Chain A
Amino acid sequence: MEVCRKTANGLDGTELRLGLPGGGLEGDVVKNSAANGKRGFEEIVDLKLKLSPKGTCTNYMDQSDEKVVKISPKDKKFLPCSNDPPKPPSKAQVVGWPPVRSFRKNILAVQKSSDEEREKKIGSNNPVFVKVSVDGAPYLRKVDLKMYKSYQELSGALGNMFRFFTMGNCGSQGMKDFMNESKLMDLLSGSDYVPTYEDKDGDWMLVGDVPWEMFVHSCKRLRITKGKEAIGLAPRAMEKCKNRT
């Protein structure tokens, strides 16, 4: 009796759908289109030929990778053995092939997919938590940017949050402004404090330049810095800051 090996996701069983060659799985589509223009096709065409669904894809960075769920031996008779010469039109991904260790695949996938995950998150109603640090405050805070509809609302919330922290070397006028002001952007003109954020490219930008929606999409974390000391913003942002003060 032949011993063959095919695996399948326990949830879906084996699915057969019509579609284009390429064998990509849904989760891969977003990644693939970034990596290779050809794959973009699959986004447009909804149908895909899937012989081995999600659980067996070797480059999909997912917990389901760790568990190799098999179909029962009886079903094996109906599937081709992996050593049959004629290949299926769409190449099903085989477990453990090519032999690249998962940490090596995962790391590159992490670099590519972290941006894509953010995109997905923003699109839905999921909260978007970003860390907020204020120079001189002992603790960081987290805010859900989805709770606010404008910069004004955000600044009000931040003002409330950091109201009770002492701020070390800040001037008393700066402190009053920060606590009393409801408009974060006004800090730029009156005080030492500069609100900045890290965008998804890793650059530090001034808060307030882009429309609010775009800001929510691209902001990874917020930092309220003391303008005179701690500026290492991306050069363009630096210029703008100087021009305003």
Chain B
Amino acid sequence: MSEDRAEMSEDGGESSSPSSATKPRGCDVSGGGDYLSPSADQVLDNVLDNVLLFLTSRRDRNAASLVSKSWWRAEALTREELFIGNCYAVSPRRVTERFRRVRAVTLKGKPRFADFNLMPPNWGAHFAPWVAAMGHRYRALEKLCLKRMRVKDEDLELLARSFPCFKELVLVCCDGFGTSGLAMVASKCRQLRVLDLTEDDVIDDEVDWISCFPEGETSLESLIFDCVDCLIDFEALEQLVTRSPSLKKLRLNRYVNIGQLYRLMIQAPQLTHLGTGSFSPSEIVAQGDQEPDYVSAFAACRSLVCLSGFREITSDYLPAIYPVCANLTSLNFSYANISAEQLIPVIRHCHKLQILWVLDSVCDEGLHAVAATCKDLRELRVFPVDAREDGEAPVSDVGLLAISEGCSKLQSILYFCQRMTNAAVIAMSKNCPDIVVFRLCIMGRHQPDHITDEPMDEGFGAIVKNCKKLTRLAVSGLLTDRAFSYIGQYGKLVRTLSVAFAGNSDMGLKYVLEGCPRLQKLEIRDSPFGDSALHSGLHHYYNMRFLWMSSCKLTRQGCKEIAQRLPRLVVEVINGSEEDEMEDDFFDVLYMYRSLEGPRADAPRFVTIL
């Protein structure tokens, strides 16, 4: 039992051990021969409650809750922010029974690899049971953040009706709802400050949700809807912006053209974060034949630090943003198919830039320019215009090397390319010692170093060895078991590892499972790891949030053995297609995770829980 408690409260803070949930609460059994009178006890409890209020980190709180029963109880009553990293690790009922005064909830559902169509869409992660339980118990709820959950319009309606103080809704990579659900939230959450929709798949019900915000001044501080791919009523939006004096963050979708953007900007010069919408004209300008003065509109936004959008950019208009470049800390061009020539005049003003997202259309040359100017760069993401294995990718090891030489403070990188060398990766490992997140995607499977023709083992080995703060790693290219031995040997802080088309044998996975004590999330596809490798992680699976393995060399029997050895692990084997029945030994995906609840009741037909 104690082993369970220690292992399951690592990270996440989802829950305590199962046994403590059944013990009577509020009953201090510790004193057989009582020294403390009840009133002294209560004083202690009050002190504890007040002290614990200052404890905000969930890891600290988890530790505090293990001290004793009274600490457990006090912590449970004072925890206001709940983080649930896997919605199936714990049930809504258990959560709402333990924590009584919650004001903010973060809830995560589907595994990340589900984003890439590796399993059918109706796998689960339903928000409905959560909103039902919380609507009942957490009337004071103010903030909700959901990631990769299935959220229905009815759920949003229930949310809007259940929480009178509701202030912030953040939905990331969610689906299942439409503009009708958004209309509910807009119209009924009268204290709404934040409505952030990021990378969601929103159904177009043709409901004009922007018009559903109530009349009069709003408390809106953040309205992010660039992923909502539906027409909106621009006049309603303009009026909303006009009556939202606290609005600081506004990210428009691609149906807002640049002329409309201008009208919004002059209403809201106080913006700090702006998503520009399409950034191209599509309507006749109403006032004569002069274009509005976009430059002055941008110049008026003196507080602007974060710029994104450019969804259908007409690059002639790019000079309009020059006035804000010097202040920008974050710039997202990842929807703008611009060349190096078009990027350079912009980027050379961006001395303070810390976060940059671009498409590889900017080429190595564009990255050179970034390296020359953006000395404070912390995060770089380079996405492919042509996301195919054998496409043309105009960025390569040359660009990576340039970035490493210019941006020594780099902490996080995501880089898609077709050609890479060990030398460039090794150089980055030495030039950028602060790297915490290193995700390199060489798009051709099994691609070696394009100059030496060797595997990419040494490059990734250097990253885990030299980047001592590394917690997240994604590997690609031709990799042998040696790369994994490096990861196991040096990657002592690695929490998240993504592997695809890599390794030679079971040894690869064994190195990682045996060598990386902090490993939390492991996602592997199309790599030759089998049952024996899977078994080598038995000592560690309770410490992990999940393990995903698809198209590897596992057998159903091998997975079943894991399930039998670790009763608190839910072992799901999933068919890639909804139509197929589960046959024989065959399955596409193994997804397993620790849970207090046992097999979930809402598993669809293509999921078998062993």
Contacts and interface: CB of A to CB of B under 8 A. Distances in A.
Interface of A: 1-5, 7, 22-23, 35-36, 38, 58-59, 65-70, 73, 76, 82-83, 85, 87, 91, 93-105, 107-108, 111, 196, 198, 202, 204, 223, 225, 230-233, 235, 238
B289 A233 contact: yes
Nearest to B583: A73
Contact of A66 (B117, B388, B575): B117
A199 to B, nearest CB: 12
Interface in B372-420: 383-392, 416
B247 interface: no
Interface of B: 113, 115-118, 120-121, 199, 201, 227, 254, 280-282, 284-286, 288-289, 291, 311-312, 314, 334-335, 337, 383-392, 416, 441, 443-446, 500-501, 525-528, 550-555, 575-580, 583-588
Contacts of B444: 91
Report which residue of B254, B388, B446, B550 has the largest number of chain A beta carbons within 10 angstroms of its beta carbon: B388
Given A68-B576, A85-B446, A98-B443, A232 B284 contact: yes
Contact of B116 (A66, A70, A76, A99): A99
A102 B117 contact: yes
Given A96-B118, A103-B199, A235-B289, 14 more contacts: A3-B551, A23-B390, A38-B392, A69-B579, A73-B584, A82-B445, A97-B116, A97-B445, A97-B501, A202-B280, A204-B284, A225-B284, A232-B289, A232-B291
B390 A91 contact: yes
A95 B388 contact: no
30 contacts: A1-B585, A5-B526, A35-B386, A35-B391, A58-B387, A65-B117, A66-B117, A67-B578, A68-B577, A70-B575, A70-B576, A73-B584, A73-B586, A82-B526, A83-B501, A85-B446, A87-B446, A91-B444, A96-B117, A97-B445, A98-B441, A99-B500, A103-B201, A104-B383, A105-B387, A202-B282, A225-B284, A230-B284, A231-B289, A232-B284
Contacts of A95: 116-118
For the complex, would chain A's binding face be called helix, strand, loop or mixed by DSSP majority? loop
B512 to A, nearest CB: 17
Nearest to A35: B386
B284 A83 contact: no
Contacts of A231: 284, 288-289
Contacts of B579: 69
A101 B289 CA distance: 41
Nearest to B314: A202
A35 B282 CA distance: 24
Report which residue of B385, B445, B555 has the largest number of chain A beta carbons within 10 angstroms of its beta carbon: B445
A223 B384 CA distance: 38
A3 B388 CA distance: 25
